[in-house]
Amino acid sequence: MSFEQVLEIFRDYMDMDKELEVVKTKKGYLRIIWYDNLPYCEDGYLCQTPEELFDRLLEDCQSFHENRLTKGCRELTPEDTKKAEELCRPYLEKWKEAKRK
pLDDT tens per residue across span 46-100: 999 999 999 999 999 999 999 999 998 999 999 999 999 999 999 999 999 988 8
Q: Based on the structure, what is the number of domains in the chain?
A: 1
Residue 54, amino acid: F
Range of the domain at 23: 3-100
Check residues 35 and 87 and name the one with the higher pLDDT.
87
Q: What pLDDT, on a 0 to 100 scale, did the predictor assign at position 5?
A: 95
Angle formed by the axes of helices 78-100 and 50-70, nearest 10°: 150
Q: What pLDDT, on a 0 to 100 scale, did the predictor assign at position 40?
A: 79
Task: Give, in order, the Cα–Cα distances in Å from 28 to each of 8, 11, 31, 46, 100.
Answer: 16, 18, 10, 7, 24
